Amino acid sequence: MVWFGFMAQLNTTFNHKSNAAFINRMFTRENIRGMHESMVRLYEAAKTLKGLSTPTDVARALNQSQQTINNWERRGISQGGMVKAQAAIGCSATWLLTGVPPMEAVKPKSGADQAKAKLNEVTSARAYNPLSMAGDNFELGPDLRPRRYPEISWVQAGMWAELCENFEPDEHTIWHQCHIDLGPCGFVVTVRGPSMTAIAGVYPSFPDGIKLFVSPDAEALPGKYVIVRREGKATFKKLTLVEGEMYLEALNPDWPERYQRLKEGDQFCGVVRHAGFDL
């Protein structure tokens, strides 16, 4: 975080209505220390991208109450708030959450660019499954052309439903091909840790480092391997039905709390359709 440049830009007094914690006090490095990092980034983006100087300005831009802004300063911005900030202020929701640049959200492609991309997609499909091969006595086979999906972090996976629509890749985005159609918001994540590593000889097993190809549109049914957001964090487990109740199961028999009951508030982020290692 670039503290000094930000403070020089902001350099403003917070009024009583904006935030009781900053009554007639300059926004200084000492004050920043007590604030959640995501809100520090939001204020920086609001000033840099929109010229907004006070919490009141930010609250008005996001159509939020002053109390909500105060809560965010202590606890961090909600995921819905990050999405609103991306739409209203133009800052990247991923940057607000993680601090990973760029600050500014990449603008969606123009209609012309989208049309060009669609044309390329159709051309590619015909190359893999040419219409000329169809005849009266048989139908075309399944579309097996490779599709590319971005690899994202587990933090992003937990809020991908909100981020996907405005996601734009940059030069650092890693792409993976998959023969399965994961849908327009399909994504790839890398397994971290041994919780889904089964005992030797048991299949499937998902050891540390394996890539998961995830479809947010697939239905989460018992027996499927799912990405679930629980208390703001994404986790990967097998969805298991035990005596009429749904559980998240770790495949590692030695894993603590191997079976966790599905709770109210848990949100399915997607179903794993394929897995594999990079060679």
Write out the two tokens for 246: 């749904």
Q: Tell me, yes or no, whether 113 lies in a domain.
A: no
Q: Tell me, yes or no, whether 114 lies in a domain.
A: no
**What mean pLDDT is predicted for residues 174-185?**
91
Q: Among 98, 129, 162, which residue terminates a domain?
A: 98
Q: Tell me, yes or no, whether 179 lies in a domain.
A: yes
Residues 150 and 264 in one domain: yes
Q: Tell me, yes or no, whether 255 lies in a domain.
A: yes
Q: Among 39, 68, 98, which residue terminates a domain?
A: 98
Half-sphere exposure at residue 274, Cβ-oriented, CA atoms within 13 angstroms: 16
Range of the domain at 92: 3-98
CATH number at 168 reads 2.10.109.10
Q: Tell me, yes or no, whether 193 lies in a domain.
A: yes
Residues 155 and 35 in one domain: no
The structural domain count of the chain equals: 2
Model confidence pLDDT, tens digit, residues 96-136: 877 777 888 866 544 455 555 454 554 444 444 554 444 55
**What mean pLDDT is predicted for residues 254-276?**
92
Residues 169 and 265 in one domain: yes
Residues 156 and 256 in one domain: yes
Write out the two tokens for 118: 């669609």
Residue 37 burial (CB < 10 Å; 0-12/13-18/19+)? middle
pLDDT at 138 over 70: no
Residues 80 and 180 in one domain: no
How many other C-beta atoms lie within 10 A of the C-beta of residue 241? 13
CA distances from 163 to 54, 79, 147 (A): 26, 10, 20
Residues 92 and 153 in one domain: no
pTM higher than the cut 0.95: no
Model confidence pLDDT, tens digit, residues 25-81: 444 555 566 788 889 999 999 999 999 888 889 999 999 998 999 889 888 888 778
Residues 77 and 154 in one domain: no
Share of the chain above pLDDT 70, in %: 73
Write out the two tokens for 68: 């909500």
233-242/225-230 β-pairing: antiparallel
Residues 151 and 232 in one domain: yes
Residues 92 and 156 in one domain: no
Q: Tell me, yes or no, whether 257 lies in a domain.
A: yes
